Amino acid sequence: MDLVTTMKTAVFAPLLGAFLIPVAARISAPARNLLAVTLGLVTFLAAASLLPRALDGQVAAYTLAFPLGFDLTFSADMLAVFMAAVSSFVSAVILIYSVDYISHYENQTEYYTMVLLFLGSMMGLVFSMNLVWMYVFWELTGFASWRLVGFFRKDTDVQKANKTIMVTVFGALCMLAGILMIYFANGTMDLRHLRGETVSTLAAVLIMAGILSKSATLPFSTWLPDAGVAPSTVTSLLHAAVLVKIGVYAYARIFGVTVVVSEGFYYGVLVIAGLSALISAGAAMIEKDIKRIIAYSTVSQIGFIFLGLAAGGKTAFIGGLLYIMMHSVAKGGLFLCAGIVEQKTHTKDITKMGGLFRAMPVTAVSFALCSLSVMGIPPFGGFFSKFLVFRGAAETGSLFVLAVFLVGAVMTLLYLIRLFYLVFLGEEKEGAPREGSVTMVASVAFLALLGLALGAFVHYPANYAEILTSQIGAIE
């Protein structure tokens, strides 16, 4: 397949395929599940096959003319392909895991439709080179997350889902205002034409509000722990594969490699990201709900990613990009483990768990491996991303980033050890749960080992990120 067709496959296979799910559901449930998993894999393969070609410097571009400068432009540059490959990979694993996990519940057809729509919008978002289309796909992901968070239809669940969509849509509307400011100031919304342009701080702050609300950073972070009422696959999807990564991606795309804003703005981002990283790490240390702990951990880790991307300098930027990948894999794994634990013990309260290591050894080991990667222990993948951000910060001499990073890393270590100890070690509580089903356990074990493998072969992604950074040209 040529470049443009591959790119279109990556976007439209899940986006349009999502609407075939209800049709397939008419045939039979297995047909529907098979279609969903196939579409997820096709998306990943299409995105992954773009990787080597992007590395060769081939950039696919496709434009559909719209009036008023709203042209729908897809372009597969290195950053877009990197992000697409990471998200679609984790999404595909989650889809495979879902087949067992979700099979006990109602509304499965809606679930698969929304997951694919989610994935498709994410693909659309990363390949879009037009701010208005980024916004369009941005809102589509908001819609899909609304339906998915409200998957269980109790009143509280639907309320949390409404909170999710209201917070993210409010942020998105601020972002739209910012986009319009750029449109009127610079006369275009095409990111390729905006490269190197200076935008006003107010516009940047408005866009940042949208990014922060989507990636659940302070002060918009509360919806993410609340969204934990959803099935674990959904939270995993939100945390690891798509939703919160959208914010990080948009930051890298808009402020990292495209426009230039005043110094104060970057400084503000650093402060917010630092605060967010530390405060939510603190929250993770005192929470008792397993999913809320991991959710706060995500908020905290996203803060670190922002620190890396905004610290200035190439090394930290590369570290930030790697961080996105490592965090996706590890956090996806953690949530899927939490899903197995929750399904088998029927509780989310960690004080009521304990000694699960004996009952579910594979899950426990996978959980431990993923935790080690999140903590940043060598030789796991997470170590290298943290190290690069750290080194980048040291090179540019930003003491603030260094300090936050050190404190944050220690806190991460503490809350994850506490979590692991309370859930898997300690004395056994009554009621012996069993290990999860084969596909579920295999999915988490795969993600856990992948975290290790990414550490061993960190050379390849690091090399890619480095070429990306010098090719697209991160801001200095």
Partner 1 sequence: MTISLLHYMLIPLFSALLIPFVARRRGRLAEIFASVTLLAGLISIGGTLLNPAVLASGFSALGEDGFSLLMIFTVYLVGLCVAFFSASYGEGRGVNTTYFYPLLLVSVSAMCGAVTSTDFFTLFIFVEVLAVASFALMTSDDSKEGLEGAVKYYLLTFPASAAIMLGLAVMLLSAGTFSFDSIRIIIYSGASAPALVFSLSLMLLGFLVKSGVVPFHVWTPDSYQGSYAPVSAFLAGIVTKISGVYAVVRIAMFLRLFETGAFRLSEVLMFLGMVSIAVGAIAAMKQDDFKRMLAFSSISQVGYIVLAAGLATPLAFIGAIFHLFNHATFKTVLFLNSASLEKAAGTRDMNKLGGMEHPMPWTSWTSVIAMLSTAGVPPLSGFWSKIIIIIALWDAGAVTYAVLALLFSALTLGYFVVMQRRIFFGKKSAAAETAAEVSPALLAPAVLMSAVIVAAGLLFPYFFSYLAETIASRMVL
Q: Which residues bind partner 1 (CB under 8 A)?
A: 65-68, 132, 135-136, 139-140, 142-143, 146, 150, 153-155, 158-159, 162, 165-166, 169-170, 173, 176-177, 180, 183-184
Nearer to partner 1, 152 or 420 (CB): 152
For residue 296, the minimal CB distance to partner 1 (Å) is 25
Per the listing, tokens 């989610």 go with 118
For residue 138, the minimal CB distance to partner 1 (Å) is 8
CA proximity to 370, closest of 449, 305, 441, 303: 449
Q: Specify burial of residue 68 (Cβ count, 10 A radius: 0-12, 13-18, 19+).
A: exposed
Nearer to partner 1, 158 or 467 (CB): 158
For residue 436, the minimal CB distance to partner 1 (Å) is 29
Q: What size, in residues, is the chain?
A: 476
Rounded to the nearest 10°, the torsion over CA 457, 459, 461, 463 is -160
Nearer to partner 1, 209 or 404 (CB): 209
How far apart are the C-alpha atoms of 58 and 54, rounded to whole Å? Answer: 5
Q: Which residues contact 377 (CB under 8 A, 6 or more apart)?
A: 383
For residue 206, the minimal CB distance to partner 1 (Å) is 10
- Cis status, amide bond into 219, omega within 30 of 0: yes
For residue 201, the minimal CB distance to partner 1 (Å) is 16
Nearer to partner 1, 132 or 419 (CB): 132
Nearer to partner 1, 64 or 410 (CB): 64
For residue 371, the minimal CB distance to partner 1 (Å) is 35
The CA-to-CA distance between both ends of the chain, in Å, stands at 37
Nearer to partner 1, 73 or 363 (CB): 73
Per the listing, tokens 């069993």 go with 434
The first and second tokens of residue 231, run together, are: 């099935």
How far apart are the C-alpha atoms of 262 and 397, rounded to whole Å? Answer: 19
For residue 70, the minimal CB distance to partner 1 (Å) is 8
Q: Which residues contact 39 (CB under 8 A, 6 or more apart)?
A: 13, 14, 17, 18, 116
Nearer to partner 1, 142 or 308 (CB): 142
